[in-house]
């Protein structure tokens, strides 16, 4: 499985909208729309898991720079978190 990062989404987008956007490229395993938990408003980006790497790469190529509901999408593959994150490094100093 490959996880895709989609940015510059309308804040009204739904999980169904994202699935509809991605399914022409392959099977979508999961969608996580990121929401500000304090004001319950979307940030305008999400993560989506595609069933295989080839489908994910096709989705990235097909969606990056594409206009969607008046906004230009940014699509990329997620990068693994480093083991020494900024938060972890800050904790070590204290």
CA-nearest of 24, 77, 33, 26 to 50 is 26
Every domain of the chain and the residues it spans: 2-80
- What tens-digit pLDDT sequence spans the chain (94 residues)? 899 999 999 999 999 999 999 999 999 999 999 999 999 999 999 999 999 999 999 999 999 999 999 999 999 999 876 665 555 544 444 4
Assign domain 2-80 to its CATH superfamily. Answer: RRM (RNA recognition motif) domain (3.30.70.330)
Quick one: angle between helices 53-63 and 15-22, nearest 10? 100
pLDDT given for residue 80 in this prediction: 75
Side-chain-facing half-sphere of 1: CA atoms under 13 Å: 11
Residue 79: the pLDDT is 80
pTM over 0.85: no
């Amino acid at each position: 499985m490959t996880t895709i990062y989609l940015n510059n989404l309308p804040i009204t987008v739904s999980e169904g909208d994202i699935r509809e956007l991605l399914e022409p490229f392959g099977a979508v395993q999961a969608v996580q729309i990121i929401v500000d938990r304090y004001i319950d408003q979307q940030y305008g980006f999400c993560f989506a898991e595609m069933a295989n790497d080839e489908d994910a790469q096709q989705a990235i190529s097909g969606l990056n720079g594409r206009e969607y509901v008046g906004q230009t999408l940014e699509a990329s593959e997620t990068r693994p978190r480093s083991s020494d994150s900024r938060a972890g490094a800050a904790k070590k100093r204290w």
